């Protein structure tokens, strides 16, 4: 998939848990592990992009990930339309396997 150039693979965490409920230590350990493991499996470095499972995040999780150099994607109701784009609040779109192009475009436009 990745070799197609149409898909990029990024970190989602060591476990699929609500990281907004976890301590800074757990977040750092699980995300660092997941990112390193992903790079090992793919055989190259990967941009530090993180999608929160369930969209669950907190000020602690955002700070930890920011300190680790991650850009976080998190689910929110609106796109970030501020003049100063904050990469820690990018809209996450969940695409289901049965969506057609028209359905996907409704999420984006």
Provide CB contacts within 8 A for 103, sequence distance 6+: none
Instruction: State which residues form the domain around 65.
Output: 2-108
- Residue 31's domain is classified under what CATH number? 3.20.20.370
Q: What is the pLDDT of residues 14-37, one digit of tens each?
A: 999 999 999 999 999 999 999 999
Domain count of the fold of the chain? 1
Q: What is the pLDDT of residues 54-69, one digit of tens each?
A: 878 888 998 999 999 9
Q: What is the pLDDT of residues 36-50, one digit of tens each?
A: 999 999 999 998 988
pLDDT of the residue at 13: 92
Provide CB contacts within 8 A for 92, sequence distance 6+: 51, 52, 55, 73, 74, 75, 76
């Amino acid at each position: 998939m990745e070799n197609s150039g149409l898909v990029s693979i990024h970190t989602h965490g060591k476990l699929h848990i609500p990281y907004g409920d976890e301590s800074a230590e757990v977040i750092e350990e699980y995300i660092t592990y997941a990112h390193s493991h992903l790079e090992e499996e793919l055989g190259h470095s990967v941009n530090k992009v993180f999608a929160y499972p369930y969209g669950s995040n907190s000020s602690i999780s955002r700070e930890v990930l920011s300190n680790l150099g991650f850009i976080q994607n998190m689910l929110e109701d609106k796109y970030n339309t501020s003049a100063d784009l904050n990469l820690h609040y990018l809209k996450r779109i969940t695409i289901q396997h049965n969506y057609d192009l028209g359905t996907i475009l409704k999420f984006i436009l």
